[in-house]
Amino acid sequence: MTPYQEFTARFKLLISKNPHLITTTLSNIFTMRLIGNKTHGDLAEIAIAEFINQYMYDFRSIHVGKDLFRAKAHEEDITIINELTKAEFPVSLKAYGDGPLQLSTDKNFLMFPKLQQSGNVIQGNRGLAALWDDPVFVDFRTHNVLPLIYDEKKQRCNILVFDSERAKQETCKIVLEEEGKGRKHPVYRFYDGAGEYICEVRYGGGTANALQRGLWTHTKKGAKYFDSVTGGWITYAHNQTLVKLFSHALLATASGHEAAMTELKKDLDTQKRMSVLI
């Protein structure tokens, strides 16, 4: 079990014992969509980092965010440290709607060309083994992606972790599919023995934007390759008071923020006393 897998297992256990904690947090995160369609994604990073620091005593989290002075070796939004083993690992948070989900941007554009070298159809133990052994695909199963998935119409959300090891083991065929069905560029799609969708690598050449490149999957089509950390879908509600708090906080002084922080800390302490923290 990798350090990230140990973390998600503990995260899942904590949530199973204290569903109210994650329901409150996710409700507040997705309330931010009332402010703007992109706002919730950035705020999810600091919210989950703080969730870990407040409620997971054996772990510590640092928000990396958009640090302009740090060269990132990995795609990461937060760094998590296991306080017992001292293992440190990067995590990329994704706040996406239920559907297409980007697992990696493949910013160096290596995956698609590597697949092209293997032909239009890649199958059989030898062909697939050669692909998995290639350094370009070593990271396929080591991406630490924590997706916060939401269904806005039904006001429900889920934290789904893609099981890349299972995806690798059950991939039986990789097929090049040309542009079409709304796609401008070709993709390589990975299928299991039953012919069901697992994931895909999108074209990432010079004319492709961020949504047309990298490693992707789909939370509906590839549902069986996800593990729900929240134990399934949970209903969330918009917190209008939080929106008002933000609007006032943007006008308030630092001393006003300090006073508000005092009350917020009291509320967090109350939640801790009402919870079973592990």
User: Would you say residue 278 lies in a domain?
Assistant: no
Q: pLDDT at position 179, please?
A: 67
234 close to 19: Cβ distance less than 8 angstroms:
yes
Q: What is the mean pLDDT of each run of 10 residues along the chain (278 residues)?
A: 95 97 97 91 95 97 71 74 97 95 88 93 92 86 91 96 95 89 83 97 76 89 97 96 97 98 98 93
Q: How far apart are CA 273 and CA 253, in angstroms?
A: 31
Q: How far apart are CA 161 and CA 167, in angstroms?
A: 12
Q: Give the largest CA-CA distance in the chain.
A: 65
User: Would you say residue 97 lies in a domain?
Assistant: yes
Q: What total of structural domains would you count in the chain?
A: 1
Q: pLDDT at position 69, please?
A: 43
Which H/E stretch holds residue 241? Answer: helix 240-249
Q: pLDDT at position 67, please?
A: 60
pLDDT digits (tens, 9 = 90+) for 220-253: 999 999 999 999 999 999 999 999 999 999 999 9
Measuring CA to CA, which residue among 191, 15, 202, 216 is closest to residue 96?
216
Q: How far apart are CA 62 and CA 56, in angstroms?
A: 13
Query: How many other CB atoms are there within 10 angstroms of residue 65's CB atom?
Result: 14
Whole domain around residue 131: which residue ranges?
3-273
Q: How far apart are CA 225 and CA 141, in angstroms?
A: 13
Q: pLDDT at position 68, please?
A: 46
